[in-house]
Amino acid sequence: MLRQLLIFSVLTVIFINPALAAGDAKIGAEKAALCMGCHGDKGISVSPAYPNLAAQHASYIEKQLTELKSGARKDPTMSPMAATLQEPDMADIAAFFSNLAPAPAEGVGKSKPALLARGKQLYMGGDRYKEIPACAACHSPTGAGNPQARFPRLAGQHDEYVVAQLKKFKNGERANDPNKMMRDITARMSMADINAIAAYIATLE
The DSSP secondary structure of 57-86, one letter per residue, reads -HHHHHHHHHHHHHTSS--TTHHHHHTT--
What is the C-alpha to C-alpha distance for residues 175 and 70, in angstroms, rounded to an integer?
13
Angle between helices 113-125 and 191-201 (to 10 degrees): 90
Q: What is the pLDDT of residue 7?
A: 46
Low-confidence ranges of the chain (pLDDT < 70): 1-21
d(CA 135, CA 6): 11
Q: How far apart are CA 81 and CA 99, in angstroms?
A: 22
| Average pLDDT along the chain | 91
What's residue 107's pLDDT? 74
pLDDT of residue 108: 73
Residue 19, amino acid: A
pLDDT at 20: 54
pLDDT on residue 21: 59
Q: How many other C-beta atoms lie within 10 A of the C-beta of residue 192? A: 10
- d(CA 113, CA 119) in angstroms, rounded, equals 10
Give burial (CB, 10 Å; 0-12/13-18/19+) of 97: buried
Amino acid at 198: A
